[in-house]
Every structure is written in C-alpha cells, then in structure tokens.
Amino acid sequence: MKNIKHLFLLFLAISLAQIAAPLYMAWHWENILQTGQTFYWQTAPVDPYDAFKGRYIDLRFKEMSGPALDDTEFNYGQTAYALIAENQEGQAYIRGITHLQPAEAPFIKVKIDYIQDNLVHVELPFKRYYLPENQATAAETAYQKNAGQTAIAAVRLKDGYGVIEQLYIDNKTLTDYLQEANHSSK
C-alpha cells in the first residue's frame, strides 16, 4: 500500500513537471518581450562555419527536380533516388526520381521536398563546399556575385552519394578566380 502511494506521488510530480515546463518556457520568452530592455544590434553577412570541418560556402543548385519515374506516391522527407544525366552543354540534370535504388549509374540518394506540376523537387545531399580559412570571405563574396550565372560545382557521384570536388567561377577554379581578382584589384 505504501509503494502505491509513493508511485502515485511520483506520477503526480512527473505530470506537474510535464505541464509546468512548456508553460515556463512560454512565460519566460513572453516576459522578456514585455519587460526586457531594447538594444539594436547591427547584422553581418552570413559566414558559415562548422566547428569540426571549418569554413564553407552554402551552395544552391538550379537542378533540383525531375519527373517521377514510377507510380509510387512520394511524401515529404521520404528517401528516393535521382537519376543524373548531362545535357548538351555537359551540365548535370535530374533525369527522373524513383523510390527504388536503380541498378544503373549514376544516381544519388535524395530526400523528397515537394511535388508541383508533376515534378518531384528534392533536397540534394551536398550543398557545402569547404575551403581554406583565408579564402572564406572572398570566396563567399565571389560566389554570391556569380551564383546562377557562371558559378558551377563539380560533384563526384558514387553509389548514391555525392561530394563537391571543386567550385568554378567563370570557368576557373575558385582559387584561380580569387587570385586573378586579387591581382586585378592591386
């Protein structure tokens, strides 16, 4: 009987803690908004940094969708496979999306983002290009200036995985582009 009473008190304490925690969090942030002192902080450009891997450029790609190759319904976050091909200019595009791992190469494992106008939009598993610390700021500026125009990433694919090998701007490696830009500014 004594154990049941202790278990009931323990259950009651845990239940109260579960109710109190979200209420405290909501009250805490609302209290700061209502009674906190206002300061104005100047913003800075994004300078991505990973504590273990170093500086990187966050890349976005134009080709992130393709037609469904089978009748399976795709859902957000689902793992699927994108078959990759090259167009006449030698640039990669997604030939199609399937839920089964293809036997033929090249393909890449992707996550489904959304479906619109019979096109399956996916999240590519690569988007970070890591580079030396001393090139980070200039590289980010150069990429932002040329993204969507002359910036192209070389990505190696194998067994459904992809790694960004090099970033090219104006048909030059990022290092060569930055060196030329540095020499021309002097």
Report the DSSP pairing between strands 128-130 and 54-58: antiparallel
| pLDDT tens figures, 61-77 | 888 999 999 888 899 99
Q: Which two tokens stand for residue 171?
A: 């048909």
**CB neighbours (10 Å) of residue 3?**
7
108 contacts 124 by C-beta, under 8 angstroms: yes
**If pLDDT is split at 50, 70 and 90, which confidence band does 43 have?**
very low
Q: Where are the beta strands (DSSP E) in the chain?
A: 49-50, 54-58, 65-67, 79-86, 92-98, 107-116, 119-123, 128-130, 151-158, 161-169, 172-173
Q: Which two tokens stand for residue 145?
A: 């200036």
Q: What is the pTM of this model?
A: 0.69
**If pLDDT is split at 50, 70 and 90, which confidence band does 26 have?**
confident
- Cα separation, 107 vs 105, whole angstroms: 5
